[in-house]
Structure 1
Amino acid sequence: MTFMVLDENNHHCILPRIKPEPGDGERRYREAYARRKIRLDRKYVISCKQSEVPLSVPWDPSNQVQLYTLEDSAFLSFKLDIMVTVNAKQTFNLLSDLCRRKQWDPFYKECQLLQQVNEDDAIYHVISTVPSAEGKPQDYILLASRRLPCTTGDPYVVAFRSVSLPTHPPINEYSRGESLCSGFCIWSEGDKTKVSYYNQFTPGLVSQVTTNIAGLSSDFASTYQACERFLVENTKDSAGDVNTPEP
């Protein structure tokens, strides 16, 4: 069942958190969360024909990564928001350096810069800590693109997606994973900074992500608490990375 409460202006109200009754009530509550996870998995499988088209695109200097926050029924995506006390410029500098992500993200085991395309675009080889269905370590070839705000109120953007490089084809040691679209949008909000992380589902992530969304795991919470600590502890390192005025 779906419950909805409207106020006097016909706007949605936020319902308080449900507290299931002990015993059967708690059991039914957990079963409902499990059914929600199954629906998320099914929606992904039905909506994305991953087996028909490759996720990686041939690398070409004219490629541009664009990040959209508009929901589309053809894709299943997720977003995470955190607030940090580090200013937006320093947060942008730290999160756009993919080689440092393993310092806070347990998904990253190793990361190597393969090609610095220009000041704002780079290609990395990432080795994941999460094995594939075959039990092999997964690796990724990722294009990382960062963009400064165009005008006041716009976010800093750091976007990632898989590309294919002829010089780095898949090898037997790893199972080549693919990332369709992910990244960060970073806004200044008074004396704090809002960081939003977006990701479109891919086969290698669907089980991990839907488990977290269903509330059956605290991986997301612990990961982004580690991200916040990383930002706070490394602000001095990033102060001069990007020579641009604050928007």
Structure 2
Amino acid sequence: MKNNHPCILPHIKPEPGDGERRYREAYARRKIRLDRKYVISCNQSEVPLSVPWDPSNQVYLSYNNVSALKMLVSKTDWVLATEINKVQLYTLEDNTFLSFKLDIRVTVKAKQTFNLLSDLRRRKEWDPYYKECQLLQQVNEDDAIYHVISTVRSAEGKLQDYVILASRRPPCDTGDPYVVAFRSVSLPTHPPIDEYSRGETLCSGFCIWSEGDKTKVSYYNQFTPGLVSQVTTNIAGLSSDFASTYQACERFLVENTKDSERDVNTPEP
């Protein structure tokens, strides 16, 4: 512990030759164990994760989207799995669900960060897992439905696509975060097509807090099978792409501070 915060011990440096080989094999074994454990825990994949979008019930669906993320944020049993270049990766096991979160701190103001991260169409500028994103429906000032094409391929070798409800909310009270919540919905006008493999996200999103001259940005995601391999590769120490992705997010926020003065739903001049 350091300043009441958990910290990662320095990496072990293996001996050359057989020591390095055994070191790499140990990481590989750890990833295999994590994959087995996390795939088994993804029991929620046995039923559809998407909810039908119903305009007559949109207030409830949007509220539920935000409240599900807030409930995930309120969990207290997060475990620090790894930290690279000040990007922290945590995991949480909660009954049949398994989740992860990423923490970074940036020098961009919380409201500006909120405006930039609210617009999913811009996420491809920093997130390598986003190939394309199209706004399908602007439900109201704070809720929108997007079609996302991912760079991740399914077991069938097709790119995955998603239909996502994004719900953004400013703080309700002092100390509360800005919230941008995501979950999969189904639209009759945009059914799955043969070109893509339709993916689903149960609960994910950003929470953004002001911390003096810094802003804390946390990204949360409940596991679905399509994410398991990516996350366990990082937990096992075989990749650091989560760190490079969220360092790219920080650069995106800093470089686009001027754009962030305009609310995401304000028309271009």
In structure 2, the CA distance between the partners of 1:10 and 1:207, relative to structure 1 (3 Å rule), is: closer
- Which secondary structure does the structure 1 equivalent of 2:113 belong to? helix
Supply the RMSD in Å over aligned alpha carbons: 4.6
SS of residue paired to 1:209: helix
Q: In structure 2, do the counterparts of structure 1 residues 120 and 90 end up closer, same or farther at CA, with 3 Å as the change threshold?
A: same
Report if the CA contact (8 A) 1:67-1:181 is conserved. Answer: no
Residue 200 of structure 2 corresponds to: 178
**TM-aligned CA deviation for residue 111 of structure 1:** 0.5
Find the residue that maps to 1:70 and give its secondary structure: strand
Write the deviation string for residues 10-57 of structure 1: whole angstroms up to 9, x where unpaired.
998864443333333333332222222222211222222245211111
Q: How much does 1:243 deviate?
A: 11
* Count of aligned pairs between the two proteins: 240
In structure 2, the CA distance between the partners of 1:90 and 1:245, relative to structure 1 (3 Å rule), is farther
Query: CA shift at 1:244, angstroms?
Result: 14
CA distance in 1, matches of 2:19, 2:142: 53
Q: Closer, same or farther in 2 for the Cα pair 1:19/1:243, shift >3 Å?
A: same
Q: Please list the CA deviations of residues 50-106 of structure 1 after superposition, one character each: whole Å capped at 9, or x if unmatched.
A: 452111111134778999997513212111111111010000100010011011111
What secondary structure, in the 3-state scheme, does the structure 2 residue paired with 1:139 have? strand
**Judging changes above 3 Å, is the alpha-carbon distance between structure 1 residues 107 and 232 closer, same or farther for their aligned structure 2 residues?**
same
Q: Is there any run of 5+ residues in structure 1 with no aligned partner, and where?
A: 1-7
2: CA distance, partners of 1:9 / 1:88: 24
Tell me the secondary structure at the aligned position of residue 46 of structure 2.
Answer: coil
Q: Deviations over 1:120-165 (max 9, x none)?
A: 1110001111222111121110011111111111111111111111
The alpha-carbon deviation at position 113 of structure 1 amounts to: 0.4
The equivalences for 1:132-151 within 5 A come to: 132-151=154-173
- CA offsets, 1:191-227, max 9 Å, x none? 0111111111112211112112211112112111111
Consecutive unaligned residues of structure 2, counting only runs of 5 or more, are: 59-86
**Is the 2:106–2:217 contact (alpha carbons within 8 Å) kept by the matching residues of 1?**
yes
In structure 2, do the counterparts of structure 1 residues 69 and 246 end up closer, same or farther at CA, with 3 Å as the change threshold? farther
Question: Conserved in 2, the CA contact under 8 Å of 1:67 and 1:182?
Answer: no
For 2:135 and 2:8, locate their aligned partners in 1 and report how far apart those are by CA, in whole Å: 45
Residues 152-185 of structure 1: per-residue CA shift (max 9 Å, x gap): 1111111111111111100111111111211111
- Counterpart CA distance in 1 for 2:4 and 2:243 is 33
Q: What percent identity do the matched residue pairs reach? A: 91
Greater alpha carbon shift after TM alignment, 164-173 vs 10-19: 10-19
Per the normalisation by structure 2, the TM-score is 0.79
Which residue does the alignment assign to 1:49? 43
Larger deviation, residues 130-139 vs 113-122: 130-139
Q: Which moved more, 1:40-49 or 1:172-181?
A: 40-49
- In the aligned structure 2, how far is the partner of 1:86 from the partner of 1:75? 33
CA pair 43-242 structure 1, distance change in 2 beyond 3 A: same
- Secondary structure at the counterpart of residue 118 of structure 1: coil
- Name the stretch that deviates more: 46-55 or 165-174: 46-55
Decide which moves more: 166-175 or 29-38: 29-38
- Go from structure 1 to structure 2 and tell me whether the alpha carbon gap of 1:150 and 1:9 turns closer, same or farther (over 3 Å shift): closer
Q: Are the counterparts in 2 of residues 67 and 159 from structure 1 also a CA contact under 8 Å? A: no
Q: Residue 185 of structure 1 contacts residue 196 of structure 1 at CA under 8 Å; is this kept in 2?
A: yes
TM-score under structure 1 length normalisation: 0.85
Residue pair 2:91, 2:99 contacting (<8 A) in 1 also? no
Query: What are the equivalent positions in structure 2 for 1:195-214 lying under 5 Å apart?
Result: 195-214=217-236
